[in-house]
Structure 1
């Protein structure tokens, strides 16, 4: 029986990362970034490995030809290895966007963003999994993509992830809520980091900032993303379901009313989440522009279980109908 491509590639990532982790006395995720870069470059870049490890790595790398794998196979195999590494060293903000959600966001980006060439930003890019999932579902489009991430290891993984899939991505290793020196983009995707932003002085420069105490980082990410989006551009955010009912939501409501139109809210199936309080939705916004009119009525959808083919087909038909009525 032949080995499934994703399984074969994951095994190569996993075995080589495990070997390098022990040899270099680093974490699994750091070793994964190193081994991914070796595979991409086609050579072993570390010069402090034992002869046995070097020869073993050489043999394992020689058995993998990246050109034989699709971008999605590479992404899934690398994602599985990252998930393994995250289990070893769990941090709450390092949760990866589920594949099915990334694919659905990719579908929405395809529907709303009609240009053949455009600029796409993920301001909380993490390991690059959501960004590469969306890119892999934009067929025959010329996309300049950008990502920002404060965590050194995550952005190294995003860099390797993009290289392995041959995506051209410009990455910024910084706090996204500090000044972001990028040209405006046509679209933003973001699995919003939820929690309080500790830098009150920086937060005070935002319209949405709380009048006392820390401001929600996820609110600030929405404002920062909007500021870096072209007039008429689209923003797709994965948000906590209770975001508009929080004690700080009044400032968010004011900002949204002033600067963007809500195009839609897609509530994800509750079964996807461990408990109701962790449930999320996809918020779709369009930045105001003189030629942009609000939709006659926002697209409001409760997604069924994504494994329910018939129910999903009905929802996709509803979305198509909404586009015919609102996007002519």
Structure 2
């Protein structure tokens, strides 16, 4: 992949977002959504801009032809601009799943689902980067994807992202723990939002809710995802390493035992996180249903640093072997 192509796109997004930020008196991320919309439509859609700004914008857009870029180049160029905007205005819910995790989730999903067509949900879609990363890896397949996100700016960026990449994604701007009006899906991917869910009355509708105090939102997201998955569906969650060790773990453990099969837990390298206590894993679940069997042995692995190509190759061979063994069973 040509770095210059990614840089070329990032520069176009960045320069035009800065112009619109000044003209519209808005945040960089809001301006980025505006310029992404312009680039997709090939024209300046905003009204009331001064003529000099319009000419500068049009010049930048005329230099970019999306058909000349690979999908990964478009995603990465847009992602770099989003990351810049997030650094300028840091908010706890404005965090993006690292590319390496997204790529690995795409690899696991590819192993679990062999169908040429399937449906996919991310109930905490954010800017849509995890969905985009996974869908870019599944080229040649027809994926009907859906995403839900409560933050208006993030969901707008997810919408622009999907348009620029030509992905079929249905997006919902809502609290993802309220009813989702989507058909049950074949697969769920989610970098779980970790923390407490403040609406105790809504949490009470879930089996994992606690009797007093706030319930963990990440527990609720696991149950919500399961509700919207078909029998036999694959669910891949990025989880905190201490998921099953908290004071609320008993309720979650019971829910999983009754509704899901744990196919595996893959611990991500500590080097990916600033602090060891912030470490995460990928939890691989399958929704129970007719003909769904538990593996002879769950896939338990600790990923080496992604930069160690030899160790990573050995680990992928081991994971491939586990899938081959369990498909025979």
Q: Name the residue aligned to 2:128.
A: 128
Q: Distance in 2 between matches of 1:84 and 1:43?
A: 24
Q: Distance in 2 between matches of 1:94 and 1:30?
A: 13
Q: Name the residue aligned to 2:291.
A: 291
Could you tell me which runs of 5 or more consecutive residues in structure 2 were left unpaired when the two chains were aligned. Answer: none
Q: Call closer, same or farther: CA 1:232–1:67 in 2, change over 3 Å.
A: same
Q: Name the residue aligned to 2:238.
A: 238
Q: Secondary structure at the match of 2:26?
A: coil
Asked if residue 301 in structure 1 is aligned to residue 294 in structure 2, the reply is no
Q: Secondary structure at the match of 1:87?
A: helix
Note the 1:54-93 alignment, pairs <5 A.
54-93=54-93
Stretches (4+) displaced over 4 A: none
Q: Name the residue aligned to 1:8.
A: 8
Q: How far is 1:139 from its partner?
A: 2.5
Aligned length: 327
Q: Name the residue aligned to 2:152.
A: 152
Q: Distance in 1 between matches of 2:186 and 2:295?
A: 19
Note the 1:133-144 alignment, pairs <5 A.
133-144=133-144
Q: Distance in 2 between matches of 1:270 and 1:95?
A: 18
Could you tell me which runs of 5 or more consecutive residues in structure 1 were left unpaired when the two chains were aligned. Answer: none
1:222-244 deviation per Cα after TM superposition (whole angstroms, max 9, x unaligned): 00000000000000000000010
Q: How far is 1:78 from its partner?
A: 0.4
Greater shift in the superposed pair: 88-97 or 25-34: 88-97
Q: How far is 1:107 from its partner?
A: 0.4
Q: How far is 1:36 from its partner?
A: 0.3
Q: Name the residue aligned to 1:314.
A: 314
Q: Distance in 2 between matches of 1:276 and 1:91?
A: 22
Q: How far is 1:300 from its partner?
A: 0.6
TM-score (structure 1 length as normaliser): 0.99
Q: How far is 1:3 from its partner?
A: 7.0
Q: Name the residue aligned to 2:324.
A: 324
1:137-185 deviation per Cα after TM superposition (whole angstroms, max 9, x unaligned): 1121110000000000000000000000000100000001011111000
Q: Distance in 2 between matches of 1:324 and 1:24?
A: 55
Q: Secondary structure at the match of 1:93?
A: coil
Q: Distance in 2 between matches of 1:168 and 1:116?
A: 15
Q: Name the residue aligned to 1:171.
A: 171
Q: Distance in 2 between matches of 1:241 and 1:76?
A: 28
Q: Name the residue aligned to 2:194.
A: 194
Q: Secondary structure at the match of 2:175?
A: coil
TM-score (structure 2 length as normaliser): 0.98
1:39-85 deviation per Cα after TM superposition (whole angstroms, max 9, x unaligned): 00111100111000000101111000110001100000000000000
RMSD, aligned α-carbons: 0.9
Asked if residue 31 in structure 1 is aligned to residue 34 in structure 2, the reply is no
